[in-house]
Structure 1
Amino acid sequence: MGAVTATETVGSLPPSVHVNDRIILTDKENQIFDLLLKVCRHFNINTELRVAGGWVRDKLLGKECYDIDIALENMVGKEFCDKVNEYLSATGEETKGIGLIQSNPDQSKHLETARMHLFDVWIDFVNLRSEEYTNNSRIPTMEFGTAQQDAYRRDLTINSMFYNINTSSVEDLTGRGIPDLKSGKIVTPSAPKETFLDDPLRVIRAIRFGARFGFVLDEQLKIAAMDDEVKTAIISKISRERVGHEINLMISGNRPVDAMSYISELQLFWSVFSLPPEIEPPALDGCERLCVAYMDASWRFLQLIGCSSITTDQMRLTLYAALLLPLRKTVYQDKKGKQVPVARYIFGTSLKLKSSDAETVCFIATPGDNLTPSGGKVLILDSFYPVKQNLQILEVEWKEEIIDAPVMAKLRVLAGLVLREIKEFWRSALVLSILLYPTDIGLEKVWELKPLVNGKDIMSILQLKSGGPVVKEWQQKLLEWQLAHPLGSSEECIDWMKQSQSKRPRTE
C-alpha cells in the first residue's frame, strides 16, 4: 500500500444533474394526499397542504423518498391530525394514533411536530413559520408564516421547495431551488453568514448534502463557514448530540471522505471534533489533514477489496477509527486523574455518541499496534506469508507464557488469540494495521519479472545439446533464487547455479 496522502479538494467543478420536470407520485403517495384533501373538503378547512423539503428534492431527482413532511398554512400539526381522525371515524375507518414530538431547541427542534401513520407511512405535520433569532441564542421566536417566509428560513435552496398538494405543482419560492439542483450547487436561501449565525447547524448540514450529492459548495457559503464568528457559534450554540447525529450520517453515507475533506478544508475540524483543554502529546499542525488522509486510505482499501464481508456498522466504526488514527496515542486526564484516550472524549463529549462505539473504535485502533511484532504479537497478514523474513525478531518477542511450539505454530497461536479478542472487527483492525505498518516485500507485478538467466545460458552451463525437463527445472530454481535475492545480478545467479550443479551427485 502506498504512502498516505491528503485528499484533494472536493467539488471543484459542479456536476450536471438531471432534474425531472414534474413530480410523479406513487400509488401510496396518491392515497395519502387524496385522504388529506378529503379531510380539508369534509371540514371546509381553508388551507394549502404542502410537502416540504427533502421529499421534493429527492422526487425531482427521481429518487424514492418516504420522509413526508406536511407544512400547514394556518394551523398546527396536532389540530390537523385530530381532524384526520374525526374524518376516519365519520367514514367508518379505524382512527390512528398521534405522536407528538415536542419542541426541543437543543436538538434543533423549534416547533412541535405531530406524527401519524397513514397507509404504512409515517407523516409529520407542522405549520409554516417565520423565525427571528436573538444575538445570544439559537432559539428563535416563532410565528405563523407564509410559504415564502418558510422557504427563505430553510438551510439550503435545494431543501426549500414545496410540493403543493392542492394544485399538484412544485413551488420554488426562492427562485433558486431548481436551478441550484440542476447545476449541483449548495447555496443558502438567504445571506450565508446570517443563515449560519441564526442556526450554526446549517453549516454542517450544507457539508453533508454537498458530500451526499457530490455538489459544489457556493464560494460565499464557504467564506461564511470559515468566519471566526460562525466557528464560535458552532462550538457554543449547537447541541453536541445534533452535531454527532450529522457526523454519523456523513460517516455512514455514500461519500464520507468528501464530507470530512470539506470539514477540514473549511477549517472546521476542531470545531466539530473538539479536544479537551490539555492533551498529551499535543496535536501537531496539520493533524486534521492526516486524519482525513488515513480515512481516505481506509475507504479506498475497503472499496478495493470489496465490502460484502463487512457490515454497515463495522464500516462506520472502521472509518471513525481510521479518522482518529493519528490521535490513537493521545490522552487527556479526566477528573479522577486517569489517563483516557482522546477518542473517548471526542465520542462522549464532542459528538455525544454511544460509549460502546467509543470503546470499539479505541479497541480496533489499538490492535493496529498489537498486531505487529513490536507489539509483542503478530501482524495477522504476516502469518499468511509463505516466506518469513523476520522469524528471529518475532521469536524473541513472544509472550513468556506462550506454549512450546515451532515458530509457525506460535504465529498461529498468537494470531488466534488476537482474533478472539477483536472478534468480528478483525478485518477492521487488519486494515488499520496495514495503514500504520505497510508491508512491502517487493512483489508488485512479480508476474512481469524477467529471468536473469535465459534457457540458452542454462543449456550452455549444463552443456546440453537440447532443451527439455532439465532446463525447465533449472528455470524454476533460478526464478526462486531471483525472488530470494531481489538485488542479485545475473553473474551471481549463474555462480549460484554452477555451485549448486557441482554439489549434485553424478549418476552413472
Structure 2
Amino acid sequence: MAAVSPPTPPQQQRCVVEVREGVELTEKEERIFRRLLDVVRHFGLGTQLRVAGGWVRDKLLGKDSTDIDIALDNMTGQNFCEKVNEYSELLGEEQKGIGVIQCNPDQSKHLETARMLIFDIWIDFVNLRSEKYAENSRIPTVEIGTAKEDAFRRDLTINSLFFNINTNTVEDLTGRGIEDLKKGLIVTPLPAKATFLDDPLRVLRAIRFAARFNFTLTEDLKDAASDEKVKSELGSKISKERIGHEVDLMMSDKHPVNAMCYIRDLGLFYVVFAFPEKPDPPVPDKCDRLCVSHIEVAWNLAHSIGCSVFSGGSDSKSQDEHRRLCFYSALFTPVRNTIYLDKKSKKIPVTNYIIRDSLKLKASDADTVVNVHAASEKFAELINLLESNENLTTVKEKLDDEYLEIPTDSVKRVLAGLILREIKDFWRVALFICTLTYPEVSSGGDPLGQPDELHQRKEKYTRAERLITELELDAVWKMKPLLDGKAIMGIMQVKGGPLIGKWQQRLLKWQLAYPRGTTEECIEWMKQSQSKRQKV
C-alpha cells in the first residue's frame, strides 16, 4: 500500500517564504526549450517564447512542475505547433499530433489553445492577450496583447510571472509578483474589486491559492471578496460547475480547512454551498460556522489518528479520494439529517442537493457522502456497545428473530459486519465521521483548544477500528454467501418470493455470527429452521 502522509494542523504560523533567485531547469526542460528556440531560429519567426503563470511560480518556490504553458507574442499556438512538426520532419523525427482546444468562456478558456507532446511532456501554446469585460458578463472581449497587458489581466500577482525562454530570465511585469511571493501575499495585479467584478471566479481562485501555500489574503482583497455586489455576481455570473470545480480543487489540496475558513469568514458560504428551498428541519442559525467547525475538528482528529483513516483504498489515488470525501462528509455533517422534497415529493438529503445541484459534482460523490453519514449513525450503536454493554440486550433483540438467535459474544461482530457490508471500503471514513459526531461539535468552541476531547474522540475511533480488524471484518463485503437463492429455495421448498430475500439476510447474519461455519453446518441450521417453521 502506498504511504500517505498524515495531514498537518491548519492555521499554522506562517513562515518566511523561500524564493529562488532564478529558475533552475531540469535536463528535460532544457531539451524542450532548446528545441523550441531552434524552431524559432530555423524559420526566422522572431517569436518571444514565455512560460507563463503557475510553472514559474512553482519553480521559484523550488517545486517541480510539468504544467508548461507557453505564451507567444506574434503567432497562434496552432501555427507554432505546425512549425515544430515541420522542424521535426526535417530531422527525420516522427511528427506529433496537435490538439486544438477551442475557446470556451464557460470553462474560462477565452482564447484558442494548441497542445502537443514534446519529448514526452504536454505543452500548451497560446497567444499573449488583453481582456476587456462587459458590465453583465464574465466573458471578456479578447485581443492579442503585449506581455505586460497579459500579466496585468491575470488573477494574482504570483501567477503573473513569466520565464522568457529566449533570454533565460524571469519577467515580473506587474512589478510585485516576486515580492508578493516572498512575503506570502495573495494580491490581484489590478484593483481587487474591479478584478472580481470582471470575473468573480477569481475570488475562489484567490482563496484556493491562499490555502494551498498558506499565504495571506491582503485586507484590500478580503474587503473586495466580501463585498455584497461581488458575492451577488459570484452567484449569478459564474456557473455552478465552475464553482464546484474550484471547491473540489480546494478540498483535494493540502489545506482544505484553511480554504473553508476563508469561505466562511468572507461571508461566501451560502453563495458557494447553495441550499434547497424549505429544508426540513430548517437549516440552523450559523450553519456556516457549524459546518466549518466540523471540518476543523475532523482535520485535527485525522492528524491525531494518522493516515489509517484514508487507507480504505489500495493505491494513493484511491486514498486521496477517501481523504477528499471524508472532508466533504465532515463539512456537511451538521445537515446530515436534513432533507427536502424534490419535484416528485420524494425526500432527498440536503447533502445530496449541495453536492449534486449546488456544486455539480459527480453523483457518486453525493451518494458516497450520504452513505457515509448513514453508516456513521449506525456506527454510534457499535461505539456505545464498546463503551458499555448496557445496550447489548437491546441490540441482540434487534438482530435476533424467530429462526436465528445470535450468540451474545457474536453480537458486536454481526452488527459491525452488517454496517461494513453496506458502506464497504469507506467504513473507516464512516467510523471516523461517527467519532466526530458523538458528542456533537460546538460551533463556538476552539477545536485546537480541546486536547482532552480530541483524545477521547481518537480513543473511540481506535477502539472500534481495532475491534473490526481483530474480528477479521475488513473486506467483509467481499464475503460470498454459502448458499445462493436457488439453494435456499430447495432447502425451504418454496419457489421464490420475498421469503427468499429474508432468508438471504438471515444467512448473512448466520455467517457473520459463525465465521468458521461450513456449508454443511449452514444447511443443517436452515433445515432445523425449516422444521421449526413447519411446526409453527
For residues 304 and 53 of structure 2, what CA distance do their matches in structure 1 show? Answer: 36
User: Is 1:423 matched up with 2:424?
Assistant: yes
Amino acid of the structure 2 residue aligned with 1:429: A
Whole-angstrom CA distance in 1 between matches of 2:90 and 2:55? 30
Q: Distance in 1 between matches of 2:339 and 2:224?
A: 33
1:240 aligns with 2:248: no
Identify the residue that residue 117 of structure 2 maps to in structure 1.
117
| Corresponding residue for residue 147 of structure 1 | 147
In the alignment, which residue of structure 2 is the partner of 1:358? Answer: 366
Name the amino acid aligned to 1:109.
K
Query: What amino acid is the match of 1:411?
Result: K
Q: Structure 1's 95 and 401: CA in aligned 2 closer, same or farther, altered over 3 A? A: farther
Alignment check: 8 A CA contact 1:116 1:123 kept: yes
In our comparison, the structure showing a higher alpha carbon Rg is 1
Judging changes above 3 Å, is the alpha-carbon distance between structure 1 residues 400 and 222 closer, same or farther for their aligned structure 2 residues?
A: farther
Contact 2:10 2:255 in 1 (8 A): no
Q: Which amino acid aligns with 1:340?
A: I
Residue 9 of structure 1 contacts residue 261 of structure 1 at CA under 8 Å; is this kept in 2?
A: no
TM-score, L = length of structure 2: 0.77
Moved more, 399-408 or 253-262: 399-408
Distance 1:14 1:189 in 2: 23
Q: Does 1:331 align with 2:332?
A: no
Q: Deviations over 1:181-203 (max 9, x none)?
A: 00001000000011111111110
Corresponding position of 1:46: 46
- Identify the range of structure 1 (46-55 vs 274-283) with the bigger mean alpha-carbon deviation: 274-283
SS at match of 1:170: strand
Q: C-alpha deviations, 1:2-33, integer Å up to 9, x for none?
A: xxxxxx9958x753101000111000000110
Gap change, CA 1:9 and 1:218, over 3 Å in 2? farther
Contact 1:383 1:415 in 2 (8 A): no
Higher mean alpha-carbon deviation, 50-59 vs 401-410, is at: 401-410
1:207 corresponds to 2:207: yes
Is 1:412 aligned to residue 420 of structure 2?
no
What do the CA deviations read for 1:130-172 (whole angstroms, capped 9, x no partner)? 0000011111101000000000000000000000000000000
Instruction: State whether residues 295 and 322 of structure 1, in contact with CA within 8 Å, keep that contact through their aligned partners in structure 2.
Output: yes
Instruction: Return 158-167 or 400-409, whichever deviates more.
Output: 400-409
Q: 1:438 to 1:171 in 2, by over 3 A?
A: same
Question: Which one-letter code corresponds to 1:122 in the other structure?
Answer: W
Aligned partner letter, 1:363: N
Name 2:464's counterpart in structure 1: none
**CA offsets 1:24-82 (integer angstroms, 9 cap, x no match):** 10000001100110111111101210000000000000101000000001211111111
**Counterparts of 2:373 and 2:259, CA distance in 1:** 22
Residue 383 of structure 1 contacts residue 412 of structure 1 at CA under 8 Å; is this kept in 2?
no
Residue 18 of structure 1: SS of its match in structure 2?
coil
How far off is 1:438 after superposition? 3.8
Q: Where do 1:490-505 residues align within 5 Å?
A: none
State whether structure 2 residue 316 is matched by structure 1 residue 315.
no
Equivalent residues in 2 for 1:396-411, closer than 5 Å: 397-398=398-399, 400=401, 403-411=404-412
Rounded to whole Å, the distance in 2 between the matches of 1:301 and 1:408 is 31
Match of 2:297 in 1: 297
Matched residues, number: 428
| Cα drift, residue 337 of structure 1 | 1.6
Secondary structure of the residue aligned to 2:389 is coil
The answer to whether 1:388 aligns with 2:389 is: yes
Q: Is the 8 A contact 2:158 2:180 kept in 1?
A: yes
Q: What residue identity is the alignment partner of 2:143? A: E
Per-residue deviation at 1:278? 2.4
Question: By how many angstroms is 1:101 displaced?
Answer: 1.1
Output one character per residue of 1:96-124: Cα deviation in whole Å (capped at 9) or x when no partner.
Answer: 10111111111111111111111111100
Name the % identity: 56
Q: Is the 8 A contact 1:16 1:184 kept in 2?
A: yes
CA distance in 2, matches of 1:72, 1:341: 49
- Within 5 A, what are the aligned runs for 1:82-481? 82-308=82-308, 309-310=311-312, 311-372=319-380, 378-379=381-382, 381-382=383-384, 384=386, 388-395=389-396, 397-398=398-399, 400=401, 403-438=404-439
- Spell out, residue by residue over 1:392-418, the C-alpha distance to the aligned partner (whole angstroms, 9 max, x if none): 444455465783123331221111111
Cα distance in 1 for residues equivalent to 2:49 and 2:26: 18
Distance 1:235 1:256 in 2: 21
The code of the aligned residue for 2:328 comes to Y
Q: Is the 8 Å Cα contact of residues 294 and 435 (structure 1) preserved in structure 2?
A: yes
Q: CA deviation at 1:296?
A: 1.5
Which residue identity lines up with residue 362 of structure 2 in the other structure? K
Q: Are the equivalent residues in 2 in contact too, given 1:164–1:170 (CA < 8 A)? A: yes
Query: Equivalent residue of 1:366, what SS?
Result: helix
TM (norm. structure 1) is 0.81
Q: Find the aligned partners of 2:179 and 2:20 in 1 and give their Cα distance.
A: 12
Which structure 2 residues correspond to residues 52-91 of structure 1 after superposition, within 5 A? 52-91=52-91
Structure 1 Cα separation of the partners of residues 11 and 226 of structure 2? 16
Q: In 1, Cα distance between the equivalents of 2:186 and 2:251?
A: 19
TM superposition shift of 1:239: 2.0
In the alignment, the residues of structure 1 paired with residue 367 and residue 339 of structure 2 have an alpha-carbon distance, to the nearest angstrom, of 14
Work out the CA distance in 1 between the residues paired with 2:400 and 2:298: 30
Long gaps (5+) in structure 1: 1-7, 373-377, 445-508
In the alignment, residue 142 of structure 1 is paired with which amino acid? V
Letter in 1 for 2:302: L
3-state SS in 1 of match to 2:275? coil
Residue-by-residue CA offset, 1:286-318 (whole Å, 9 max, x unaligned): 111111111121222222211152411011111
Q: Distance in 2 between matches of 1:277 and 1:107?
A: 28
Structure 2 vs 1, CA of residues 81 and 305 (structure 1 numbering), >3 Å: closer, same or farther? same
Question: Is the contact between residue 111 and residue 126 of structure 1 (CA under 8 Å) also seen in structure 2?
Answer: yes
Alpha-carbon distance in structure 2 between the residues aligned to 1:330 and 1:416: 27
Question: Closer, same or farther in 2 for the Cα pair 1:232/1:9, shift >3 Å?
Answer: farther
CA distance in 2 between counterparts of 1:151 and 1:204 reads 19
User: In 2, are the aligned partners of 1:9 and 1:265 still within 8 Å (CA)?
Assistant: no
Q: Matched residue of 1:189: which SS?
A: coil
Q: Quickly say closer, same or farther: Cα 1:153–1:407, change in 2 above 3 A.
A: same
Question: 2 CA distance for matches of 1:56 and 1:299?
Answer: 31
Conserved 8 A contact 1:10-1:262:
no
SS of 2:103's equivalent in the other structure is coil
- Once the 2 structures are TM-superposed, how far is the Cα of residue 363 of structure 1 from its aligned partner? 0.4
CA distance in 2, matches of 1:401, 1:205: 60
Distance 2:403 2:278 in 1: 40
Deviates more, 1:296-305 or 1:358-367: 296-305
Contact 1:116 1:122 in 2 (8 A): yes
Q: Distance in 1 between matches of 2:166 and 2:272?
A: 42
Which residue of structure 2 lines up, in the alignment, with residue 469 of structure 1?
none
